[in-house]
Amino acid sequence: MDYIESSAHLFDGRPVGACGAKSFSTMSLLINKDGKQLGPYSLDQARGLVLSGQLDATDWAWPDGATEWVHLKDVSGFSSATGAQPATPPASATEEEELWSGHPSQVLNLNIYFFWACVLIVALVVDVSLVDSTKWKILLFGIVAVLALIQSSAAYLHLRAIAYTVTTQRVRIVSGIFSKDIQEIELFRVKDTMAHQSFFLRLFGLGTITILSGDERHPRLVLSGVPGALELREQVRQEVMTLRQRFGVRELDVM
């Protein structure tokens, strides 16, 4: 969803384009967000933008026929339970169910594991064929083995410290070993989803899912090394459509 930004500016506190009063069904609103005049929007469009996170209920609004700016949440009819406001779904429909959870596959680290396996083999061959002293053989191979263990362990723990959770309401990524970073997108804010399988990942039944949203804090989430990525992406897409219909969220094209 995108803002529809007007080129009009404020003059003596009154927005350009404000006109006479209308009924709730035909009322239009001008929005002042961060000093910018946006709109006009219908009540339904304003509700959808608030639900998608692009507007706040505390943003200033100028309804048709108004004499001063008021908070959007205080506009008559905006919070009404009647009319075009999305109906509240039954409790059973709002229960959150987990679709999938897991970690990025260790297949993503195969290049690191393979590299250090080759290095260890080369170090062993050099030890056997070129180094005469048993002491130096042990020292050389020991140093290489320690380096291989450290980097391989770090790569393993890095992926294990990333946890993916996909539910019927949100997608969450929790990452970090000592400190934790949480990224989360509500599904009704998702704008688009993509799934990609490289030839290598396809051999293992894995893929990458990219989720784009209207959330300015987390506009993009990437789930890498996910099993059954194509099927999971389709499940997410279906849940997004269901939630959009439930909450009455629509995308607005910029004119």
Does 92-97+162-247 match 10-74 at the fold level?
Answer: no
Averaged pLDDT for residues 169-191: 92
Q: What does the pLDDT read at residue 122? A: 93
Q: What does the pLDDT read at residue 32? A: 85
Chain mean position to CA 135 = 55
**More confident site: 218 or 116:** 116
Q: Are strands 206-213 and 220-227 parallel, antiparallel or unpaired?
A: antiparallel
State the chain's mean pLDDT as an integer.
81
SS (H, E, C) 168-183: CCEEEEEECCCCCEEE
Q: What does the pLDDT read at residue 217? A: 78
**What are the C-alpha distances in Å from 66 to residues 5, 29, 73?**
20, 10, 15
Say how far apart CA 104 and CA 159 lie, in whole Å.
6
- Given a cut of 50, whether residue 4 has pLDDT beyond it is no
Q: What does the pLDDT read at residue 250? A: 61
Say how far apart CA 8 and CA 5 lie, in whole Å.
9
Class of domain 10-74: alpha beta
Out of 71-80, 131-140, 243-252, pick the least confident.
Answer: 243-252
SS3 133: coil
Look up residue 39 and give its two tokens: 């709109």
Domain borders along the chain are: 10-74, 92-97+162-247, 107-159
- DSSP, residue by residue, 158-213: HHHT-EEEEESSEEEEEE-SSS-EEEEEEGGGEEEEEEE--HHHHHTTEEEEEEEE
Q: If pLDDT is split at 50, 70 and 90, which confidence band does 134 have?
A: confident
- Given a cut of 50, whether residue 210 has pLDDT beyond it is yes
The predicted-structure confidence for 218-239, as pLDDT tens digits, reads as follows: 789 999 999 999 999 999 999 9
**More confident site: 92 or 195:** 195
**More confident site: 117 or 255:** 117
Q: What does the pLDDT read at residue 183? A: 93
**More confident site: 28 or 145:** 145
Look up residue 244 and give its two tokens: 């959009």
SS3 134: helix
The predicted-structure confidence for 10-65, as pLDDT tens digits, reads as follows: 434 556 555 444 444 567 888 888 777 887 888 888 888 887 778 888 888 888 77
Averaged pLDDT for residues 150-159: 97
Q: What does the pLDDT read at residue 155? A: 97
* Polymer length in residues for the chain: 255
- Given a cut of 90, whether residue 78 has pLDDT beyond it is no
**More confident site: 50 or 190:** 190
User: 0.85 cut: is pTM over it?
Assistant: no
Q: What percent of the chain has pLDDT over 70?
A: 80
CATH number of 92-97+162-247, picked from 3.40.50.150, 2.30.29.30, 1.10.510.10, 1.20.1090.10:
2.30.29.30
Q: What does the pLDDT read at residue 91? A: 42
Out of 30-34, 71-75, 93-97, pick the least confident.
Answer: 93-97
Among the listed residues 73, 104, 85, 77, the one whose alpha carbon sits nearest the alpha carbon of residue 224: 104
Q: What does the pLDDT read at residue 20? A: 45
Prior bond to 63 cis, omega within 30? no
SS3 40: strand
